Amino acid sequence: TAGRTPLIAGNWKMVLDHQSGTHLVQKLDWTLKDAKHDYSAVEVAVLPSHTSLRSIQTLIEGDKLDLALGAQDLSAQDSGAYTGEVSGAQLAKLGVRYVAVGHSERRQYHSEDDALVAAKVQAALRHGLVPIVCVGEALEVRKEGRHVEHTTAQVLAALEGLSGEQVAGLVIAYEPVWAIGTGEVATPADAQEVCAAIRAAVAQQWDEATAAAVRILYGGSVKPASIAAIMREEDVDGALVGGASTDPGDFAAIVRFRE
Ligand code: PEP
Q: Inform me whether the pLDDT recorded for 1 exceeds 80.
A: no
145 annotated as ligand-binding = no
**pLDDT tens-digit readout, 213-252:** 999 999 999 999 999 999 999 999 999 999 999 999 999 9
Instruction: Quote the pLDDT of residue 129.
Output: 98
Q: Return the H-helix or E-strand segment holding 5.
A: none
Confidence of residue 68 (pLDDT cuts 50, 70, 90): very high
Q: Which CATH superfamily is domain 7-255 in?
A: Aldolase class I (3.20.20.70)
How far is the centre of ligand 1, averaged over its atoms, from the C-alpha of 89 (Å)? 26
| Distant-in-sequence, close-in-space partners of 246: CB < 8 Å, separation ≥ 6 | 10, 12, 15, 16, 24
Q: Does 181 count as an annotated binding residue?
A: yes
Q: What is the reported pLDDT for 259?
A: 86
Going from N- to C-terminal start, the domains of the chain cover 7-255
How confident is the model at residue 77, as a pLDDT? 98
**Which residue of 7, 11, 101 sits with most ligand 1 atoms within 8 Å of its CB, as the best mutation to test the pocket?**
11
Catalytic residues: 103, 175
Q: Is 131 exposed, middle or buried (0-12, 13-18, 19+ CB in 10 A)?
A: buried
Burial 10-42 (b: 16+ CB within 10 A, else e): bbbbeebebeebbebbeebbebbeeeebebeeb
CA-to-CA distance for 191 and 187, rounded, in angstroms?
A: 6
Residue with the smallest CA separation from ligand 1 atom 2 is 242
174 touches 132 (CB < 8 A): no
Residue among 8, 222, 251 to mutate when testing ligand 1 (max atoms within 8 A of CB): 222
Q: Whose CA is nearest to atom 8 of ligand 1?
A: 242
Q: Is the pLDDT of residue 2 over 80?
A: no
Asked whether this complex has an ipTM greater than 0.95, the answer is yes
Dist. CA 243 → ligand 1 center (Å): 6
End-to-end Cα, the chain, rounded Å? 17
Q: Is the pTM of this model over 0.80?
A: yes
Closest CA to 95 of 49, 131, 128: 128
Which residues line ligand 1 at a C-beta cut-off of 6 Å?
11, 13, 175, 180-181, 219-222, 240-244
Instruction: Say how far apart CA 119 and CA 115 lie, in whole Å.
Output: 6
- The answer to whether 36 is annotated as binding is no
Q: What is the dihedral of CA 136, 211, 118, 146, to 10 degrees?
A: -30
13 marked as binding residue: yes
